[in-house]
């Protein structure tokens, strides 16, 4: 039994290090420290020069753990990226993650060859490629802990770059390592050919693997708990198979995740939830192992070249690459300056630095220690100053409320709808709106420990927890309606987004003005006649009827007929909500847009609306009173 004690000791030490990393990260969030730095420090303290005294120098195990972790992390990055975020940012992000990485590696490598005696230009380029990729995940974490959110264009660019620049850096490191092992002194067209081959193979197998995952998830019946495990196993298999076939495994898993994120997939909520935990575990384990691999005593021998290369990278190489790559796309100088500053180096650089040592390339140990030191300097200098720079340059907007809370429930056998749940607070934006969009349907409401149906619950109240059935591709749009924003909520009223109509207005004129499609028989009716035709004498203030892609609300009656009504256009309400949340200045924004029916931009926008009219008889529903603007039972 004594022979089993070392195994148990390894398990205990490993679990203790992971727990220490988790609790250290909780403390770090209070001080805004980069998580990567915290995990690296934990690993270094546990190493042979630290209090832990653990001797670890297994580069092969490090490469195995790093490959496994990065395949899961990059798949998760693709899994959270919607193609809608690519709009206006795809081309500059791809140029920055390809040509930008080459420029960064070239400048840094040239300086490294001059600074470090004995390095050839190709060896210097290898060192430059090792530290060329950025860690945008650390950027978004620091912004969140600082209570900031990036402007959409800059945020989308960094999000796409973070998923596509790591494969490019891996291309360069692997190819340059092969050239050095083959005795080649300078890179040539062979390098470019290898890069193109790896990119093409990685893209093809990644897309094919992503569509295969979607098909299998939707067609093969599995127990609920196996869907996330199946996806993780397939992601690792795609990475390994692509690498064995000479392609970029990291690019392949990112594209596979991107396909899964943008296709209807069974069990998507449980898959994303599982990947949350798996990604955190991979980051913690990888960073701690990389910290264990470093010997602080040896690291001190590379202080001077490490500091100089870090300064060149931060102040020269990254800014020059950003300026050259983004120049054709009309980015402002302050945007380019901010993107230059957020080029934090992370675990990928340290992971790549283990490859030359593992393969026996000359100066492999020097590459690893210098790369580690560059990462530390980058995290200390750029990491802690990031939120201040974002505020100074005006690139980040302050979050006026916590991020929306949402829980997703998988519906077995269902890929067209997802059930999402939201808590309702006193400042939830949904309380200021008259209704949910037509594509969202309330299923149940939890109120004061009681479970109520939509009809039983009636209007939503603060303290409720509401569950809604919605298409998967519209969940993020629904999130905006449940954000907490006291400023916006105060500005909105019950008839928010409602256009006034006279009861004698002909529906043909209304349809022509606002782009509604109506049957010929209904086009000849007036607004009051439309209510009479469907309700008879039962019309009352607050009653609602669907009218194509809009809702008619009876506001006042005279002698039993509707005298005034309101028209709520689905697309207009969503557009105004987005505007209010983005600008927090609804009244000023509406003043600039212009009145419907004029030459203003809003009038032109409304005339372009073309949505199909449902072919079912409208159903009358009571509109909520002003103090309870949303009636869940009225959803059709």
Q: What is the pLDDT of residue 596?
A: 41
Range with the largest mean pLDDT of 251-260, 349-358, 576-585: 251-260
Q: What is the pLDDT of residue 247?
A: 86
Question: Could you write out the DSSP letters of every residue in 230-269?
Answer: HHHHHHHHHHHHHHHTTS-HHHHHHHHHHHHHTS--TTHH
Question: Which of 161-165, 169-173, 526-530 is predicted with the least confidence, judged by mean pLDDT?
Answer: 161-165
**CA distances in angstroms from 308 to 112, 115, 318, 595, listed in the order given:** 9, 9, 14, 60
- H or E element, residue 606: helix 601-607
Q: What is the pLDDT of residue 401?
A: 42
Is residue 609 pLDDT above 60, yes or no?
no
Phi and psi at residue 459, to the nearest 5°: -65, 150
Is residue 337 pLDDT above 80, yes or no?
yes
| Mean local confidence (pLDDT), 58-77 | 83
Is residue 253 pLDDT above 60, yes or no?
yes
Is residue 459 pLDDT above 60, yes or no?
yes
Q: What is the pLDDT of residue 239?
A: 92
Distance CA 71, CA 76 (A): 9
Is residue 580 pLDDT above 70, yes or no?
no
Q: End-to-end CA distance of the chain: give it in Å, rounded.
A: 68
Domain segments of the chain: what residues? 1-31, 59-181+191-395, 407-491, 498-634
Is residue 104 pLDDT above 90, yes or no?
yes
Range with the largest mean pLDDT of 335-339, 487-491, 543-547: 335-339
More confident call, 445 vs 586: 445
Question: Could you write out the DSSP letters of every residue in 412-446?
Answer: TT-SS-EEEEEE--TTBGGGGSS---TT-EEEEEE
- Tell me the Cα Rg of the chain: 29
- Chain length of the chain: 636
8 A C-beta contact, residue 455 and residue 587:
no
Q: pLDDT per residue over 300-331, tens digit each?
A: 788 888 889 999 999 999 999 999 999 988 88
| Mean local confidence (pLDDT), 506-533 | 84
| Mean local confidence (pLDDT), 563-574 | 74
- The CATH-assigned architecture of domain 407-491 is 2-Layer Sandwich (3.30)
- H or E element, residue 116: none
Q: What is the pLDDT of residue 205?
A: 94
Q: pLDDT per residue over 169-222, tens digit each?
A: 888 888 888 888 877 666 666 667 777 888 889 899 999 999 999 999 888 888
Is residue 592 pLDDT above 70, yes or no?
no
8 A C-beta contact, residue 160 and residue 77:
no
Range with the largest mean pLDDT of 3-17, 304-318, 391-405: 304-318
Is residue 412 pLDDT above 70, yes or no?
no
Distance CA 33, CA 29 (A): 6
Is residue 97 pLDDT above 80, yes or no?
yes
CB atoms within 10 A of CB 273: 15
Q: In 80-151, which residue ranges form alpha helices assigned H by DSSP? A: 90-115, 121-130, 136-145
**pLDDT class for 29, splitting at 50, 70, 90?**
low
CATH of domain 59-181+191-395: 1.20.1530.20
Locate 94 and state its tokens.
Answer: 């791809």
Is residue 465 pLDDT above 60, yes or no?
yes
Q: Which CATH class is domain 498-634?
A: alpha beta
Average pLDDT, the chain: 76
**DSSP 3-state assignment of 519?**
coil
Is residue 50 pLDDT above 80, yes or no?
no
Q: What is the pLDDT of residue 572?
A: 62
8 A C-beta contact, residue 132 and residue 126:
no
């Amino acid at each position: 039994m004594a022979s089993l004690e070392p195994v148990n000791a390894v398990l205990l030490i490993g679990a203790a290090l992971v727990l220490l990393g988790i609790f250290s990260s909780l403390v770090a969030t209070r001080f805004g420290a980069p998580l990567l730095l915290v995990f690296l420090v934990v690993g270094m303290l546990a190493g042979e020069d630290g209090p832990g005294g653990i001797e670890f120098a297994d580069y092969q195990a490090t490469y195995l753990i790093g490959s496994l972790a990065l395949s899961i992390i990059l798949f998760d990055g693709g899994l959270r990226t919607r193609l809608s975020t690519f709009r206006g940012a795809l081309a500059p992000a791809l140029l920055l993650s390809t040509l930008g990485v080459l420029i960064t590696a070239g400048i840094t490598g040239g300086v490294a060859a001059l600074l470090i005696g004995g390095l050839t230009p190709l060896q210097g380029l290898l060192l430059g490629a090792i530290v060329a990729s950025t860690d945008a995940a650390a950027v978004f974490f620091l912004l969140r802990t600082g209570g900031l959110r990036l402007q959409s264009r800059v945020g989308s660019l960094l999000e796409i770059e973070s998923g596509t620049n790591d494969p490019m850096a891996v291309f360069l490191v692997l190819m340059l390592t092969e050239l050095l092992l083959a005795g080649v002194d300078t890179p040539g067209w062979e390098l470019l050919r290898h890069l193109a081959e790896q990119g093409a193979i990685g893209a093809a197998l990644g897309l094919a693997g992503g569509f295969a995952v979607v098909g299998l998830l939707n067609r093969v019946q599995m127990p609920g708990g196996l869907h996330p495990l199946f996806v993780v196993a397939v992601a690792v298999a795609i990475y390994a198979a692509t690498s064995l076939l000479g392609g970029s495994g990291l690019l392949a898993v990112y594209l596979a995740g991107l396909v899964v994120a943008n296709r209807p997939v069974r069990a998507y909520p449980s898959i994303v939830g599982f990947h949350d935990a798996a990604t955190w575990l991979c980051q913690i384990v990888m960073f701690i192992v990389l910290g264990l691999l470093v010997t602080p005593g040896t690291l001190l021998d590379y202080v001077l070249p490490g500091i100089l290369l870090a300064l060149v990278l931060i102040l020269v190489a990254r800014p020059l690459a950003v300026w050259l790559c983004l120049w054709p796309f009309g980015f402002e100088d302050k945007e380019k300056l901010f993107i230059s500053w957020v080029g934090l180096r992370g675990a990928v650089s340290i992971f790549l630095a283990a490859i030359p040592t593992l393969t026996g390339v000359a100066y492999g140990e020097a590459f690893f220690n210098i790369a580690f030191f560059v990462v530390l300097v980058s995290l200390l200098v750029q990491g802690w100053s990031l939120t201040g720079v974002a505020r100074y340059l005006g690139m980040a907007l302050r979050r006026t409320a916590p991020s929306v809370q949402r829980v997703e429930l998988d519906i077995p056998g269902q890929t067209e709808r997802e059930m999402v749940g939201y808590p309702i607070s006193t400042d939830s934006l949904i309380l200021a709106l008259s209704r949910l969009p037509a594509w969202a349907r309330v299923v149940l409401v939890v109120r004061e420990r009681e479970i109520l149906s939509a009809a039983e619950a009636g209007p939503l109240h603060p303290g409720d927890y509401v569950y809604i059935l919605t298409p998967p591709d519209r969940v993020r749009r629904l999130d905006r309606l449940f954000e907490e924003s006291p400023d916006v909520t105060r500005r909105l009223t019950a008839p928010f987004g409602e256009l006034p109509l006279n009861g004698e207005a002909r529906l043909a004129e209304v349809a022509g003005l606002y782009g509604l499609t109506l049957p010929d028989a209904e086009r000849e009716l007036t607004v009051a006649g439309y209510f009479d035709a469907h309700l008879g004498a039962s019309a009352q203030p607050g009653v609602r009827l669907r009218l194509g892609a809009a809702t008619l609300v009876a506001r006042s009656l005279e002698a039993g007929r509707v005298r005034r009504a309101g028209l709520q256009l689905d697309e207009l309400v969503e557009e105004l909500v987005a505007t209010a949340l983005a600008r927090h200045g609804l009244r000023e924004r509406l003043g600039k847009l212009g009145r419907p029916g004029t030459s203003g931009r809003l009038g032109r926008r409304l005339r372009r609306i073309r949505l199909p009219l449902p072919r079912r008889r409208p159903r009358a529903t009571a509109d909520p009173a002003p103090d309870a603007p949303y009636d869940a039972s009225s959803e059709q």
